Chain A
């Protein structure tokens, strides 16, 4: 299958991460070893570790919009407006019905449902105290819908539920819609508000998959022998995607080109990953891009610092990139934790500047590398200057066995 026509390019980036609220700030911190994990009080559970975003919500929303909407909606609006501004598109005169909003989410609605149950617990669980905002806040399309309201976008605006593979899925789906001619401009990526729901923490805790560490910034440690689970984070990264001809016609800055992708399913377990299917996902993405493993210069791993999951992903990557001396491997979660639905999109953003600075950001917190994760090319603790970065391969995998691999290449005319 050809993925080459029409060509799709990235023309804008907007993001908020636990360690940065712009691409330049995020990138600077990734190259400086600055993470963003802190202690946070979680309802019913006490003090836990989380990646918290500190963007200025009032930059693009009124106080009332923040009160009525959701955190995922607010993150989406911030990222969307930042991306649109970064793209320098003439948004005011752009046909709003030709703009699509495609936002990946791991889950949506848990936060508001938990809040309402907690609120009515103060009234002896009398449901007449249940908020009339519950339904508009919890519908699955809420984050994308809030973007459409905020920006006056009248084209398709919806979310894509794909667990923690969702961030990549937002971009993949947008590329597909642009290729089909359904829209002329897409705002896409992934967001997460998951740190505001105790259920996500409690679920991982019960699964023995929640990270703990006396030093918050050391807690997220993929590939380290002492890794003990996931640090849950919030965040978002939304991109503007356009067909290449449109981007060139308006003189847009081009961050990179969508080269290929694959989405597949394990069909093997609710939570356990499947390295065979992951490797297949990577290989199919390479095939769709018309690339060999040797053509990839950065592989951004999904690894979440669970004892088994990291090893399994390393098996998958090791199988595909066995003879690739110019392929470097890193992990962004070691800085920001697991941003769930935003993970794939944010982690791609963290690596996009490599096309310009030819530097691979490291995986930090590796004090004692697990030999089962000792992939050749793994960039540990210090950034690595490399000779060439022409293609980035970004993995994101999720529960119920959903896998997504996205390849972005350097734009050349």
Chain B
């Protein structure tokens, strides 16, 4: 999986958990929380959906790695690769 594909995976999840938000122009290098209404429960949603949909575990200590689309791609792409995706 490429980093762009990883970003799309995250965007697909965000589209479901924040259905009122326009996510078409999210800046990949800016914190998600600074661009849209996301609270701590929403971040737990992202973690849960990664687990449910893609069998990826994100330990609590690594939550900061999900701050932006770029950091998500950096952190998650190796995990997808390790799963053979």
A62 adjacent to chain B (CB < 8 Å): yes
Residue of B nearest to A128 (CB): B51
Binary contact track A53-83/B, C-beta < 8 Å → 1, others 0: 0000000001110011000000000000000
Flag the segment in B12-20, B27-35, B60-68, B73-81 that touches A: B12-20
Q: Are A62 and B48 in contact (CB under 8 A)?
A: no
Chain B residues positioned under 8 Å from A63 (CB to CB): 19-20
Q: Are B17 and A131 in contact (CB under 8 A)?
A: no
B83 adjacent to chain A (CB < 8 Å): no
Number of interface residues of B (CB under 8 A): 11
A118 adjacent to chain B (CB < 8 Å): no
A133 adjacent to chain B (CB < 8 Å): yes
Number of interface residues of A (CB under 8 A): 11
A-B contact count (CB 8 A): 23
B82 adjacent to chain A (CB < 8 Å): no
| A133 to B44 Cα, complex, angstroms | 10
Q: Smallest CB–CB gap between B36 and chain A, Å?
A: 11
Binary contact track B1-22/A, C-beta < 8 Å → 1, others 0: 0000000000000000111100
Chain B: interface secondary structure?
helix
Chain A: interface secondary structure?
helix
| A271 to B17 Cα, complex, angstroms | 41
B85 adjacent to chain A (CB < 8 Å): no
Q: Are B52 and A62 in contact (CB under 8 A)?
A: no
Q: Are A132 and B20 in contact (CB under 8 A)?
A: no
Chain B residues positioned under 8 Å from A67 (CB to CB): 17, 19
Q: Are A133 and B52 in contact (CB under 8 A)?
A: no
A94 adjacent to chain B (CB < 8 Å): no
Chain B residues positioned under 8 Å from A62 (CB to CB): 19-20
Residue of B nearest to A68 (CB): B41
Q: Are B48 and A132 in contact (CB under 8 A)?
A: yes
A contact residues vs B (CB 8 Å cutoff): 62-64, 67-68, 123, 128-129, 131-133
